[in-house]
A and B are shown apart, each in its own frame.
Chain A
Amino acid sequence: MVSIGFFIYFAFAIVVLSLLVVTRRNPVHSVLWMLLLFFHIAGVYLFLNAEFMAAIQVIVYAGGILVLFLFVVLLMNLREELSIGKYTTFGPTGFTFALGLFVAVSMALSSFIAAPPGKYSIDLIKQETHVKALGKLLYTEFIYPFEIASLILLVAMIGAIVLAKRRLKS
């Protein structure tokens, strides 16, 4: 009963906060609501026995990506932003599309059949600790994708520097 109460609070807060993120006129407010949203999502992860993912969510999203967004928001002309309309002419079309997507997929959800359970039961993870179980899997079975992820981050770093640097006068 307690768990259902917690879930309802977190689900309600997450939906309301994501609506606030996409509908605020001031981008600084959007970024700050998104910070609160990421903390709530981390709470849901804790609720699902994924404490490492909750920590990653707070460190990478709230600590890294949002600071990046906040820096770029500082470049913007806020006075012009507050005087102009929020939505493009595609606004109603986008709303209809999103609503249709929600209705269609939620109707399809009722025919979902879960796969047979694997070996990582809650007791096994509790016994081995979550970080150790995840690390073992990541560094043995998924070592190749892990290396590719590091390559993607390197490409992103170099690409961001090349794109954002001032062009040299030749």
Chain B
Amino acid sequence: MAVPLSWYMLLSLAVFSIGVFGFLSRRNIIIMLMSIELMLNGVNINLIALSHYIQDLRGQILAFFVIAVAAAEAAIGLAIVIAMFRNRATAHVDEIKEMQG
């Protein structure tokens, strides 16, 4: 008896929602970046599960590109965090209000 596809989709949806929650509510900017990684991982689980059940490898190719873009995004995001540390010495998003947003 095989695992139904909808279970994998529910799992990836749960991981994505937890990532959304972390991104919207945490104060620390590094944990916000980690929540973005969590969301991308949820999407990857969905893509690979679908590519297995539909018997097409394109989902895995797309997941491969998602991983490459996630690596680039982590590098840029952490460089911005370091630049912010140098100027403000803080990692809390509610203390950054130079742009009067």
Residues of chain A whose beta carbon lies under 8 Å from any beta carbon of chain B: 1, 3-4, 7, 11, 14-15, 18-19, 21-22, 27, 30-31, 34, 37-38, 41, 44-45, 48-50, 52-53, 56-57, 60-61, 64-65, 68-69, 71-73, 75-77, 81, 84-95, 97-99, 101-102, 105-106, 109-110, 112, 114-122, 125, 133-134, 137-138, 142, 145, 149, 152-153, 155-157, 159-161, 163-164, 166
Give chain A residues whose Cβ lies under 8 Å from the Cβ of B20: 94, 97-98, 101
- A-chain residues with CB within 8 Å of residue B74 when the two chains form the complex: 65, 68-69
9 smallest beta-carbon distances between A and B, as pairs: A94-B24, A22-B22, A156-B72, A118-B56, A94-B25, A98-B21, A163-B79, A160-B79, A102-B17
Closest Cβ neighbor of A4 among chain B residues: B3
* CB interface residues, B 5-42, toward A, < 8 Å: 5-11, 13-28, 30-31, 33-35, 37-38, 41
At the interface, is chain B mostly helix, strand, loop or mixed?
helix
Contact A153 B71 (CB under 8 A): yes
Nearest chain A CB to B41 CB, angstrom units: 6
Please indicate the chain B residues that have their CB under 8 angstroms from the CB of A52 in the complex: 60
B11 — which chain A residues lie within 8 A by C-beta? 11, 14-15, 44
Q: How many Å lie between the Cα of A109 and that of B85 in the bound state? A: 42
Whether B82 and A163, one on each chain, are in contact in the complex, defined by CB atoms closer than 8 angstroms, is: yes
Given contacts A18-B18, A65-B71, A94-B25, contact A41 B57 (CB under 8 A): no
Check B30 against A72 for contact (C-beta < 8 Å).
yes
The residues of B with any CB-CB pair to A shorter than 8 Å are 1-3, 5-11, 13-28, 30-31, 33-35, 37-38, 41, 44-45, 48-58, 60-61, 63-65, 67-76, 78-83, 85-86, 89, 91-94
B18 touches A99 (CB 8 A): no
Contact B75 A3 (CB under 8 A): no
- 13 further A-B contacts with Cβ under 8 Å, apart from A53-B60, A160-B79, are A44-B45, A48-B49, A69-B78, A86-B28, A88-B94, A94-B23, A117-B56, A118-B57, A120-B55, A138-B64, A153-B71, A153-B72, A163-B82
- Please measure, in the bound complex, the distance between the C-alpha atom of A161 and the C-alpha atom of B75, giving whole angstroms: 9
| Contact with A88, one of B25, B38, B57 (Cβ below 8 angstroms) | B25
Which of B10, B34, B48 contacts A30 (CB under 8 A)?
B34
Chain B residues lying within 8 Å of A50, measured Cβ to Cβ, are 48, 51-52, 60
Contacts of B69 in A (CB 8 A): 149, 152
Whether A86 touches B57, Cβ cut-off 8 Å, given contacts A7-B7, A18-B19, is no
